[in-house]
Structure formats: C-alpha cells, structure tokens
Structure 1
C-alpha cells in the first residue's frame, strides 16, 4: 500500500494514533544519528513495539534510506504487533520481512535482544514497557536509545517506566509541533544510554 504524503504540519491518519509530519521524521532521525546515542555499527536495528499498520515505521525507514551514506545503509526498522488467527494482519505499510508478531500483549518479542533502539508509539500497558526495558539475566542489553511517542496525558502513567533504567541517563522530553513535529497534546520522550 502506498504511504500517505506527509507535510511539516502534524496530521492524524485513520491507520495511526500518533499525529505525524516530516518534522517528526527529522526529529527521530536526529535522535537516531546523534553520536551520543546513535549508531556505532553498520546495522542499527530499530524495533517498534505495537506498530499497528506500520505507517510510521515505513515512513521512518524511507526517510532513513534517503539519508546520505553511510547513514542510508545502516538502519533497519521493524515493527512488532500482536498476531491473531481470526483477524487479518494489521500491517499495511511495512514489507513482510520487517513485520514481526507476538502471540499477545503479554509477550515480549525475542528480537528485542538484538535491538539498538526501542520505539513505543501509543503503548497501552506500562507493564509491557517495563518487560522490554528489563535486561535478560546474564546478557548485556544492546539498547542505546528508547523512544516513547504518545499523548502528554499518558506520560504520568508511563514516565515511571523510564526512570532509573540501569545504564541510561535522564529522560529528554520534546513536546508538540515546534519541539517534536507531533500534535500539541503529544510528546516524544528519549532515553539514551550513558
């Protein structure tokens, strides 16, 4: 399916809870390519938890692919969504190779073990966010950046998930159209490895 065109003004789409814009893609790209938390390898894997239709993820992949070398070749965005035997898949925009699934909202995608960046867009359950952020016993967490995109009103519920995450610094918050390229009632929170 063809991706809808984006403008610099945050716009809501029927297939995505978040208001998105070209400015949001630029904001995310700046975060991901920043030397203090960005890529240090040739293959930077971004795992988007709860990707739904895959619209944001497909736009982000397209935007990252358009960057000059070496950046254009070093990012892979994959989305993970709950699979259902009775419903057709939610993914409409990501290629099948970039669309992962889990059995329920309680299950952590095993690909988190390889992710450099985790992205949560309008997540529903703080418990699941905590599970993704918890390192596995005996294994170092490869994560360098964690992104949370959603309504400012939900941050009271989810903000605690991002406090005192071992190995990470303080949360940076960008809000609204001017700060992040999202609607005025939305925000982007960024957690970077120290």
Structure 2
C-alpha cells in the first residue's frame, strides 16, 4: 500500500492514532538506531507510522508488534510480528535498542516491558500519546531504570506529546 505524503502540519490518517507530519517523522527517525540494531513499535496497528519511519531513514529497521486481530497494511511482512494477547510481549523485545509505544492502552503492558528492560539492550523508550494520558503512564517510567530526557513537541497535534526516556547511566 502506498504511503501518504506528509506535510509540515500534523494530520490524522486512517490506521494511525498519532497525528503525523514530516517534522515528526524526521524527529523520531533521528532517535532510532541504524542496522544492525533495531527498534520495536509495540501496538503498531496498520504499521503506517513505522513504514514512514523506515522510508525516511532507509538504514533503520523497525519491527511492528501487535495482536492477531490487527491488520498490518504498510510494514513488510518480515518486519511485523503478532502476539496472542494485549498483555503478551514479543520474545525478541529485549534485543531491541529502542522501544516505541504509540497511544498505549494499558500501563501494565508498559510495566511488563520495563521489567524486562534491565536484562535487555534497550537504551531508549519513546512514548507518544495524548497529553492527558501521560500522568497514567508516568509512574511506571519513574520506577524504571529510565529517565525522561526531553519532551519534544515538533510536528505534533496540540493535544499530543512525546516523551523520550534513556536508560540511566548511559
């Protein structure tokens, strides 16, 4: 499926909760590692955001993770993996350098991933969602080995925010 042409102004696209813009894709892409390291996007849905990130940063490898009922439309099949339920983690999550959570629904899923992070190679976590949701998820991150380093707002809709967290002592 062809990818939409983004503009400088955030806009909503079918299959992606986050409003998308070219500045947002540039900003997020800069946070992702190059091959052979990889990133995962937990709850990737249609794969639109992830495919745009891979298109912008051709040397980037992103794996989308979602439940079986999800319909991946944009990511190559080799970059998309199913889990059986909303509280199941992908088996290779600990190998990823970056975890991306876009509009996550369940703080418990974040907690499960954070429990795994101490043993894994993850260095950066990106949380993106509505500003009103951050207070629900923030306590999980405060208990973790990660600390917020920035809240970039470039290319986002007014009601949305991104929090970038890095592993402490890196």
TM-score (norm 2): 0.92
Tell me how far apart the structure 2 counterparts of residues 57 and 42 of structure 1 sit (CA, whole Å).
Answer: 15
Which residue in the other structure is 2:128 paired with?
Answer: 149
Tell me the CA shift for residue 42 of structure 1.
4.5
Separation in 2, partners of 1:53, 1:190: 23
Whether the 8 Å CA contact 2:141–2:147 is kept in 1: the answer is no
Aligned with residue 60 of structure 1, among 53, 62, 74: 53
Paired residues of 2:148 and 2:163 also in contact (CA < 8 A): no
Higher Cα Rg, which structure? 1
Partner of 2:161: 187
Q: Distance in 2 between matches of 1:108 and 1:140?
A: 14
Q: Deviations over 1:142-170 (max 9, x none)?
A: 0011000100010010111211312x333
Deviation at 1:126, TM superposition (A): 0.3
TM-score between both structures, scaled by the size of structure 1: 0.81
User: What's the counterpart of residue 93 of structure 1?
Assistant: 74
Bigger shift: residues 120-129 or 153-162: 153-162
Question: 1:69 matched to which residue of 2?
Answer: none
2:61 maps to which of 76, 87, 90? 76
Are the equivalent residues in 1 in contact too, given 2:99–2:126 (CA < 8 A)?
yes
CA 55–99 in structure 1, closer or farther in 2 if over 3 Å, else same: same
Deviation at 1:173, TM superposition (A): 1.6
The answer to whether the 8 Å contact 1:3/1:59 transfers is: yes
Tell me, which stretches of 5 or more residues in structure 1 are unaligned?
33-38, 66-71
- Aligned pair count reads 168
Q: Are 1:48 and 2:41 counterparts? A: yes
Give unpaired runs (5+ residues) of structure 2: none
- The answer to whether the Cα contact below 8 Å between 2:101 and 2:126 also exists between their aligned partners in 1 is yes
